[in-house]
Amino acid sequence: MSNKVYSSPATALEGLATDGMTVAVGGFGLCGIPEQLIIALRDTNVKELTAVSNNAGVDDWGLGLLLQTKQIKRMVSSYVGENAEFERQFLANELELEFTPQGTLAERMRAGGSGIPGFYTRTGVGTVVAEGKPHMDFDGITHVLERGIVADLSLVKAWRADEVGNLVFRKTARNFNPLVAMCGKMTIAEVEEIVPAGTLDPDHIHTPGVFVNRIVQTQSEKRIEQRTTQ
């Protein structure tokens, strides 16, 4: 088995970042985002990216950093309400957006990672989400066809990994990360701790190492997305 452990986010990305690629990114808000891999991706200066992620981060962190540099051409997301730069670019027709219901987005990535090219769902029928997509009735109820997502590159954030790429996510940081890891042709995991193979309890592994190609240990910077004080 080839060595999956890399010394830095930059080296973990070597040979994988190309213009026009589709990159899937884990996280929900700022929880469980691969923050250092996003910075390293920004520093490659790749452009015209299609980014698949639940949201677009905030103005100065997460995918917001790639929006600042205009490296993202198209977003596939379910929520974008925390990013003023996203709003500005979208209203100025500088950024393409494919809105996808949150559950549908999760299932599209799971389907892509499972080799399923598409599935039918009731969600979005009769709305702009369903425009231009095939419809079919099942048991008298109309469904819309959604395509599975396969990304050229997936970036995820985990709590622990072993040397062969098995991942454990911590609490709500689990969110979209397991699905993102599944749907990538190449998947890089940014982790807080790497342990020897055989250390992790198999019953506690959330993402098997078969889905993970590269691992890098980083120091997390846990930011607060919204702070409310009284």
E strands along 100-204, which residues? 118-121, 135-138, 141-147, 151-162, 167-168, 184-195
pLDDT at 2: 64
Please answer whether residues 125 and 117 qualify as being in contact, where contact means their C-beta atoms are separated by less than 8 angstroms.
no
Place of tokens 């213009």: 19
pTM of the predicted model as reported, rounded to 2 decimal places: 0.94
Per-10-residue mean pLDDT, the chain, length 230: 89 98 95 96 98 91 95 94 88 94 98 98 96 97 98 98 97 96 98 96 97 95 78
Q: Which residue ranges make up each domain of the chain?
A: 5-118+149-217
Using DSSP's 3-state secondary structure scheme, residue 62 falls into coil
pLDDT at 224: 75
CATH class of 5-118+149-217: alpha beta
pLDDT at 8: 97
pLDDT at 59: 86
Using DSSP's 3-state secondary structure scheme, residue 61 falls into strand
Measured CA to CA, the distance from residue 172 to residue 228 in angstroms comes to: 20
Measured CA to CA, the distance from residue 215 to residue 202 in angstroms comes to: 18
